[in-house]
Structure 1
Amino acid sequence: MKAIVLAGGFGTRIQPLTNSVPKPMLPILNRPMMEHIIIKLRDELGITEIGVLLYFKPDIIKEHFKDGKDLGVNIQYFLPDDDYGTAGAVAFAREFLDETFIIVSGDLVTDFDFKKIKKFHEKKQSQLTITLTPVENPLQFGVVIANEEDRIEKFLEKPSWGEVFSDTINTGIYIIEPQVLDLIPFKQNYDFAKDLFPKMMKEDIPLWGCPQKGYWRDVGNPESYRDVYKDIMLGDIKLPFKGEASSLDKGTIYCEEGITLNKKIRVEGTVVLGKNVSIDEGVTLKNCVIGDNTKVSKHSEVIDTVLWHDVKLGVKVKLNNSVICNGNIIKDESKASHGVIMAENCLVNKKVSFEKDIIMWPDKVVEASSVISSNIIWGNKYKSSIFEDGSVVGRTNIELSCQMTTKLAEAFGSILPKGCNIYISRDYHPSTFMLKRAFVGGILSTGVNIVDPRNVPSNVMRHALSSKEDMAAGVHFRQSVFDPTETEIIFYTSEGLPVDSKVAQSIERVFFRENFRRVPYTDIGTVVDDFTLSDEYIEAIQNSFDKSLFQASEIKVAADIMNGSTSDIYPRIINELGIENIILNAHKSEKIKSADIEKTQTTMQNIVRAMNLDCGFLIYPNGHKLQVVDGTGRLIYDYKLLIAVLQLLDMTTDRKLKVLLPAWAPDFVSYENIEITMDKLENLKAKELKEYDLIADSDGHFAFSEFGLNRDSIYASFKILELLQKSGKELSKIVRDIKDFVYKGENIPCPDTLKGKMMRKFLEDGKGKQTSNVDGVKIWMNDDEWILMVPDQHNEYLNLYVQAEDEKSAGKIFYSYQDKIEKWISE
């Protein structure tokens, strides 16, 4: 048997630890992670012929391992000329792989019994065996379901929480017969999970899953790197230590040669020391690993900490739960009592104090007596990823500083074609003005040109994007309506849609690697103002409606602009269309708070009721969300507004309409002329969305494809008025006639580590019932009643949605599953 060790990853999520070394070379007990894998392959399976697939910083790996003779193996290196994916890279070793081979990632830490995996493979006479194991958080891995015979039936690579259907995952450890290589095209991007496995399943070639229990950790981020060391010290996994063991004080110390070790030190737990380490008197060492040529000065404390090579600690330095990379100098009396991760070549001057879990990027200098309360380079929200659903959200001037925003712009500009044009717009708030200015400089440095419409709502900019062919992308800055301390930066494609997860990951990869495109001064981008976007948008809406329809009616409405960016637009449109109106809060103000929204709703209800208006609209400050008050002065719940709009469409259309809704939208009411599709709304392309007449949800968001594919509360409000005029119905009567039922959503706390388990338990509980896992897991109790569980993408809770005939039935469904979830969590 031969082996392939995958060692080509960029290590983006574990930055800044991989700033100067590839991830397989991160030290575990003073050996590169990959070395532990090679030793395990050699000792357990007797493998001596090992191929190493390289890509990112290959010379560092080659320089360390050379030909492998020091480890008693023969290593051959394979370096693809491009990123061809996991399977595509293995195809480069096709001639080497002339017998059964095992594939293992070089960035794993595991104690799986490789002999048992091999025996399983041989017993099943398998062509390809995937090693499976349950994990707490399956998001970064391929989720797998195998039948009772261990044949794999379902596979999904790197799902969102809403798609997770099990906590059993693909560990990336495969045993493969050489004929499988014939299924992999050469010099094409081809992935095991996304391409090869689906192809084999489609051709009915059995994929076998070998279940393994034991220790397995993909060291994907700085926190998991620290956790490996905690697990080693707790004895959860046993790995070979370098050096000779001896008892000292209350612990065991492993020492290599050339160590100056003062006997007046305190030792507790397990301590591992590399070559030429110097430990002065009075030092306390507990459960720590110290690399070569490192010096720890008098009376310092190194507890639950990893020091890499060439680190120098001054007198009375205190480190706890920390990772200190190569070449760092930490001077006297500095302390990190609750954790710091410090990339290489930083200088920390005297008496610096680090608060909890600070991350420092390389080559930073910290002035004496500083108190470091936030990460140095980017904010503490961005430990593993920056984007949330096409947006970057953070506290203004803290997580989203000018420095952070400029880097983000440089990363975004670097993935765009040089010389292309993009829109950058903002709302009226001073924070968005500041951050947009920082962003502009970063974009220009990459040779991308900016068209600046200044202060416009995002839906105005998105409408222009979708209608002009010479624009490559758009970016909009706005203050959060629900948390005024936060700014949102939303990135849009040339079609006016939020960027999908693949584009977001490409931006993050450039951001973390700082691999920015810097053009010569002759190619620096330009900025051109364009103040026509609002006029074009207003004209487009006005041309979408028959003015005579409104002018012939006696409809009277109120609209609350909520002091937002639409204040220059909405009054012009409603007056031009000839609709009698009252406009509230039409001046721009950054002082609106989330607490004011309830007061705004109450005011609108009172005005509609007192003045006998037909309805009232609440246009949220950024123009993306709509709420409506009917003629009786009642605020229409968002989900009932969706049903009312669907019923208006149903009674006024002369053709079959197609509507796209999320899986959690209510479906209690049926429609004669509307075909509804329930699906995920994220990552869909414009071509797919154009198939639908309406894309909506039950949170007040509507996109009518006849006008555009993005949420637009301005257009939606006039469309509702048009539908009311065509139907001849009063909105209050339509809402009143909606069949009674209960639809509600609740959050239940759940750690991220148990979300995969909850998805699996829900699926198991739904056996024998109608179920769906389009987004989360939905279980029907009968034809009309269901419960849907979707793990939240960004917070530690589960979103539960219930649809039922009445409150009693809804309560019975909800509380029964709440009890089940609490029981499953406690198991």
Structure 2
Amino acid sequence: MAGGFGTRLRPLTLGLPKPMVYMANKPIMEHIINLLRRHDLTDIVALLYFQPEEIKSYFGDGSKFGVRIEYVQAHEDYGTAGAVKNAEHLLEERFLIISGDVLTDLDLKSAINFHIENKASATMVLTRMQNPLSYGVVITKEDGKISRFLEKPTWGEVFSDTVNTGIYILEPEVLRDVPYHEEFDFSKNLFPSMLEKNKRLYGYIAPNYWRDVGNLEEYFQAHQDILEGWVKVEIDGNLLPREGTNIWVGKNVEVGEKVGFKGTVIIGNDAHIGSGSFIYNSVIGNHVQIGEEVNLDRSIIWKNSQVGKRSILTEAIVADNTRIEDEAVLFENSIVSENCHIGKGAKVKTNVKVWPGKDVEEGSILSSSLVWGERWNRELFTDAKVIGIGNVELTPEFAVKLGAAFGAVVGKGGVVVTSRDAGKTSRMIHRALICGLLSAGVNVHDLRTLPIPVVRYELKFGREQGGIHVRRSPLDERQIDVIFFDGDGQDFSTSKTKSVERLFFREDFRRAAPEETGQLDFPQRVTESYREDFLKAIDTEKIKKANFKVILDYSNGGACEIFPSIIGSLGCDVISLNAYLDPKKLYRTDEKIKQSIQQLSSIVKSLNADVGFLFDPGAEKLSVVDEAGEFINPDLLLLIVTSLFLRCTQARKIAVPVVASMGVEEIAQEYGVEVIRVRNDHLAMMDALSDQGVDFVGGTRGGFIFPGFQLGADAMFDVAKILELLAKNGRSLGVLRKKWDKFFMVRRAVPCSWGKKGQVMRKLLKYTEDLNRQLVDGVRIVNDDSWVLITPDRKKALFHIYAEAKDRAKAEALLNEYSRKVEEWQSKIEMGIAT
């Protein structure tokens, strides 16, 4: 498989296909061909797509490399299986598929023997990875037969650290199930179909080295792994071992006096290293000229490049035919493409990429507009949000680029709706995002300071293709959240966040021509339309007749701009608190929230109110106090709202997060309603609505989705709906609180390093294989009168463990049992104990 674009390796792959990227002075595909030859696999078919002539001209018929190569070129991207289908006429016997852009020394013969011994139709070669999030996770039975796999899961779906390497052994008849000239993938289409039909699909777990060189960070690390000896590859030249140093030297190499070497160094043919230089764990390509007193620290230099005197390169990558003049400095993770010129004394700062053919002037300092933190190198999005410290990680420059990347996904001429909270930093980032969108030719409808539910409403009923809301994070006063929405108001899907990430990191999204720049508008009557449709979706007469007395705390958020006129139409006696915008109060500590609830409780009691509601600043979540001034925790609130809803409707199916109380099933059973458990996040709650039979989605954080009006949580609508349900039921919150406050839920966070998470999940899956369990966002073990959930945190190095029972002691015993198990498994992993 040699058709990759290598977009995440740009700018190194702007002028050549990904399999031709140099790895230890030879194309990475050459390492794969050498591996195949060592395992007597010498008849090779190369499937080409992007820049095929580069590969053909280098490898020819393969004779120079001891193999025979035939080429099949695709003219469209039909996916992995679709590409192989194009070569079906050449595949008349058992064959192996391997990517031409991975670095590995896997024992292919052992994998083939495993395939033959098990009489498999298809065998996936698997390996274990510390962080399996970017790969397809595969679960096998004891005999190696595959039982389940997930394509690029979240941490809550990581049930093993065993991942798909993209190396497959297939019998020819397997290709009969692959359609011609249609997009068809092995891991997404063919293998799930084989699993469903119970065909002989096996997984061989290989113990050797494997790395997908998918991005620049992986590319750099793959080189370090070669130099550290973690992977066996063929290196050209002679090995000259010295004490503490291994030097691979090619032909006709010249090394000046007093040159220092440390670690492992690979020097290509006809290279020259000037006197007094120091080289540490670096690769120097063919025909490279290194001047005097140069310092190379873990750097990679491709062929035909020059580095001038007294220059310093630290963890830098320099492509071919580039000239670096004297006293230049390349900082960590800087990348200089081919045919560039870096002037004397110039500095290329950390993480800066220089595109091909660029000239950096003498003495200049080339800085990216953003010094990215390490986490931007791993991933940009957390769910549908980009989160960063305001004006440090999330700067205006960063936001402009992010807006342009989002605009490229939306497309020229598209329309995006934007809004923000009242904070100064939010306003700054919001305006920068708008600039990026406009630069991509996207039109912007700016709602300015309005809460998130209004943005969702506008997207659901408007003509925009997507939306953005900027706010101060409710979790950290220093952080800013940039939240992305789809065209229907739902949270941005994972596939679309990945598209934005790819465009953001490769930095080659198109800018609009001057006459195509997007237009900025400020829509009128959005709040009026929201109010009108809101009131149509509520039984206002029922609420008016109940004559509720309500205490409402707006938390100084955006709801105070729109909800007073709505609640005023419901005939309620309302006392409002904090009903004005205050940017300084948008972030509240847990202690402040607790104080707000206590204040709300006190006012409810003193004024004999029926209910008290506390909005979060974004108007997506509620805290509720009953008529006795008792705070109703979110787990109990879910039970109360569910019971109210089911009693008043003809619902047949509802959805709740996997962590919700088992009381939901008890209530649903009374009304003959089906319960679906989903991941414990807002996107999963919204996705549940795609099942047309779902009538209600309840959350465990004070948010609910009533499908008739919104596709996402809307705390303003929730207030009105709860009042409507109370009016129809004729029962108070206090009565329902006493009825359903009979479950005990306990929780604990257990630390676990990122590298052990996948292994712990694999052990947990094996330990619980004979138990009644649910594999949704972790592993939930269900007993007759209790349950326990073990789920890995997506952002922190820890596991969350929840346990619930009708008896507190039983819940705590379950919590302690599985907390100890997670700690015990980590200890065994650390000691290298297999079981």
Q: Same fold (TM over 0.5)?
A: yes
Aligned pairs for 1:424-435 (under 5 A) are 424-435=418-429
Indicate whether 1:656 and 2:656 are aligned.
no
**Which residues in structure 2 correspond to 1:390-401 (within 5 Å)?**
390-401=384-395
Aligned residue in 2 for 1:591: 584
Distance 1:727 1:260 in 2: 90
Deviation at 1:138, TM superposition (A): 2.1
Q: 2:571 matched to which residue of 1?
A: 578
Deviations 1:482-527 (A, max 9, x none): 2232222222222211121122222233333344344544444333
Q: Does 1:190 align with 2:191?
A: no
1:617–1:690 CA distance, 2 compared to 1 (3 A): farther
1:36 lines up with 2:31 in the alignment: yes
| Structure 2 match to 1:638 | 634
| d(CA) in 2 for partners of 1:487, 1:504 | 18
Deviation at 1:11?
3.1
Once the two structures are superposed, residues 5-43 of structure 1 have per-residue CA deviations (whole angstroms, 9 ceiling, x without a partner) of: x12233344555545544323322111211100111123
- The aligned residue for residue 209 of structure 2 is 215
2:707 matched residue in structure 1: 705
Whether the 8 Å CA contact 2:346–2:362 is kept in 1: the answer is no
CA contact (8 A) 1:609 1:633 kept: yes
How far apart, CA to CA, are the structure 1 residues paired with 2:108 and 2:260? 39
Q: Is the 8 A contact 2:614 2:623 kept in 1?
A: yes
Equivalent position SS for 2:804? strand
1:602 and 2:598 matched: yes
* TM-superposed deviation, 1:716: 0.3
TM-aligned CA distance change 1:637 to 1:313, over 3 Å: farther
Superposition map of 1:257-268 within 5 A: 257-268=251-262
Instruction: Quote the residue 1:53 is aligned against.
Output: 47
Q: Is the counterpart of residue 23 in structure 1 residue 18 in structure 2?
A: yes
Aligned counterpart in structure 2 of residue 253 of structure 1, from 237, 247, 251: 247
Give the equivalent residue in structure 1 for 2:543: 550
Residue 449 of structure 1 corresponds to which residue in structure 2? Answer: 443
Q: Figure out how many residues of one structure are paired with residues of the other and give that number.
A: 813
C-alpha change, 1:147 and 1:715, in structure 2 (3 Å) is same
Write the deviation string for residues 319-378 of structure 1: whole angstroms up to 9, x where unpaired.
555544443737538475xx43424247487495967xx464545959969797x88575
Q: Partner of 2:187: helix, strand, or coil? A: helix
1:163-220 deviation per Cα after TM superposition (whole angstroms, max 9, x unaligned): 2222222221112222222221111010001111122233333112223222222223
RMSD, matched Cα:
2.9
SS at 2:482 equivalent: strand
Q: 2:833 aligns to what?
A: none
Deviation of residue 314 (structure 1)?
A: 4.9
Deviation at 1:116, TM superposition (A): 1.9
Which of 221-230 and 527-536 deviates more? 221-230
Q: Post-superposition shift, 1:713?
A: 0.4
Aligned residue type for 1:571: P
Contact 1:303 1:321 in 2 (8 A): yes
Alignment match of 1:769 (pick from 771, 781, 793): 771
Change (3 A) 1:749 1:381: same
Counterpart in 2 of 1:745?
A: 747
Per the alignment, residue 68 of structure 2 pairs with 74
Three-state SS of the structure 2 residue aligned to 1:794 is coil
Contact map agreement 2:655 2:675 (CA 8 A) in 1: yes
Contact 2:655–2:688 under 8 Å retained in 1: no
Cα distance 1:735–1:310, how it changes in 2: closer, same or farther (>3 A)? farther
Aligned residue in 1 for 2:431: 437
TM-superposed CA distance for 1:786, in Å, is 1.4
C-alpha change, 1:186 and 1:729, in structure 2 (3 Å) is: same
Q: Is the 8 A contact 2:352 2:366 kept in 1?
A: no
- Please say if residues 386 and 482 of structure 2, whose CA atoms lie closer than 8 Å, have aligned partners that are also in contact: yes
The CA deviation string for residues 669-723 of structure 1, in whole angstroms up to 9 with x for no partner, is 5112243211236366586255322212111111111221111000001111222
Q: Structure 1 residues 107, 370: closer, same or farther in 2, change over 3 A?
A: same
Residue of structure 2 equivalent to 1:679: 678
Q: Which moved more, 1:238-247 or 1:52-61?
A: 52-61
Q: Give the whole-Å Cα distance in 2 for the aligned partners of 1:423 and 1:605.
A: 37
How far residue 533 of structure 1 moved from its aligned partner, in angstroms, is 0.9
Structure 1, 446-455 or 500-509: larger mean CA deviation: 446-455
3-state secondary structure, aligned to 2:218: helix
SS in 1 for 2:281: strand
The share of aligned pairs that are identical, in percent, is 35
2:477 and 2:18 map into 1 onto residues whose CA distance is 38
2:278 and 2:295 in contact (8 A); partners too: yes
Which residue pairs with 1:800 in the alignment?
Answer: 801
Tell me how far apart the structure 2 counterparts of residues 435 and 135 of structure 1 sit (CA, whole Å): 37
Name the amino acid aligned to 1:479.
R
Q: Report the secondary structure of 1:572's partner residue.
A: helix
- Counterpart CA distance in 2 for 1:541 and 1:366 is 60
Residues 588-626 of structure 1 deviation map (CA, whole Å, 9 limit, x = unaligned): 121123324333333323322333322221111111111
Structure 1 position 59, deviation (Å): 4.2
Q: Secondary structure of the residue that 1:381 maps to in structure 2?
A: helix
TM-score, normalised by the number of residues in structure 2: 0.90
Q: Which moved more, 1:472-481 or 1:712-721?
A: 472-481
Q: Show CA shifts across 1:393-428 (max 9, x none).
A: 222233333333233333323333543433222222
CA distance change for structure 1 residues 553 and 360 in 2, over 3 Å: closer, same or farther? same
Contact 1:250–1:267 (8 Å) recurs in 2: no
- Residues 497 and 686 in structure 1, CA contact (< 8 A), matched pair in contact too: no
Structure-2 residue corresponding to 1:567? 560
Provide the rounded CA distance (Å) in 2 between the counterparts of 1:741 and 1:241: 64
**Structure-1 separation of matches of 2:207 and 2:326:** 44
Q: Does 1:627 align with 2:623?
A: yes
Q: Secondary structure at the match of 2:251?
A: coil
Shift of the 202–811 alpha-carbon distance from structure 1 to 2, 3 Å rule, reads closer
SS in 1 for 2:375: coil
Q: Quote the offset at 1:114 in angstroms.
A: 1.7
Q: CA 1:545/1:486 → structure 2, altered by over 3 Å: closer, same or farther?
A: same
Q: Which runs of 5+ in 1 are unaligned?
A: 1-5
TM-score by length of 1: 0.91
